[in-house]
Amino acid sequence: MSEEKKAVAIASGTAIILILIKWFIWIMTWSMAIITSALDSILDFFVSTMNYLAIWKSEKPMDDNHHYGHGKIEWFWAMLEGFVIFFSWLCVIYFSIQKIIKHEILNCSYLSIWIMTISIWITWLLVVYLNKVAKKTWSLILKADSLHYKSDLYTNAGIILSLIIIKFLNLPIIDPIISILIAFYIIYGSFEILSEWFKMLMDYKIEDEYIDFTIKTINEFKEVESYHFLRTRKSWKHNFIEFHIVFKDSQISLKTAHIISDRIELKIIDFVPCATVTIHLDYFDDSEEMNNPKFKELHQC
């Protein structure tokens, strides 16, 4: 089992533990904030399980029909995940408003506060672990999972605040109010997930620091006069970079030009994670010629 699969499996197991804890406390207190958090843990388990399947599928090697592998399966799951989270928390907002209208009062105990505190510590340990594995494997799935569990930390902290206020100040209305605020926060997070999916669909550029490093690397080679047609895009955890380089010596041998381009490529790959670099070699700057409207018209797809 790969480290990514192991991390997601641990996240799924942790989610089950948190579900049992929160549902037990909800039965005792009938807290809308706690049921909100319990539903979030159910979604965590669902998401982590699907993430496991997505990683399993994405790790499959390329085949006759998928020459670039299966990595984009992650992004299709991200789209579904975003919609599921969005509509689930709309339901939470609806039931919270109903609770305010009906003036329903919850029961609160020190036990519920202590157990929710324990759930925060469990979640924090999981976030630390997921972050560690994500940095090591460059996994976008684990980064997303870690971000989702970080939101749970804020959610659970809000729930504890709600329980304390109810216990000592006798303000039961604070429970559905905090629940609504948590729901809006998580809905905002679902928009971020959908935004990332949209960027993948539109072949969004890679991070600016990687683009800047690529340009800096090209300029470091004295044999290279200039570059043009620099393009980048992200696909899953892979970064694709392509550009043309123009050599100062128009009579440069193919062997020498190839060696220089290999050195540029290796330096970029060493800095940019999961990078695929494609370099076109030019002995003169043909960018103006290729930008000519007539040329574009002839080669338009």
Superfamily of domain 208-298 in the CATH hierarchy: Cation efflux protein, cytoplasmic domain (3.30.70.1350)
Contact 152, 186 (CB under 8 A): no
Question: 293 falls in which pLDDT band (50, 70, 90)?
Answer: low
Task: Kindly report whether the global pTM for this prediction surpasses the value 0.85.
Answer: no
Contact 189, 64 (CB under 8 A): no
Q: Looking at the predicted structure, is the pLDDT value of residue 11 above 80?
A: yes
Pairing mode, if any, of strands 238-247 and 224-235? Answer: antiparallel
Q: Where are the domains of the chain?
A: 3-201, 208-298
Specify the CATH architecture of the domain 3-201: Up-down Bundle (1.20)
d(CA 291, CA 297): 10
**pLDDT in the model for residue 81:** 66
Question: Residue 95: exposed, middle, or buried by beta-carbon count in 10 A (0-12, 13-18, 19+)?
Answer: middle
Q: Do domains 3-201 and 208-298 have the same CATH topology?
A: no
96-126 pLDDT tens trace: 787 777 766 555 556 666 777 888 888 889 8
Q: Looking at the predicted structure, is the pLDDT value of residue 298 above 60?
A: no
Contact 100, 173 (CB under 8 A): yes
Phi-psi region of 252 (alpha: psi -120 to 50; beta: other; left: phi over 0): beta
123-142 pLDDT tens trace: 889 888 988 887 787 676 77
What number is the average pLDDT over the span 175-181? 77
- Specify the residue for token string 């992200």: 234
Consecutive H or E run containing 203? none
46-88 pLDDT tens trace: 777 877 887 787 778 778 887 777 777 766 766 776 677 677 7
Contact 181, 93 (CB under 8 A): no
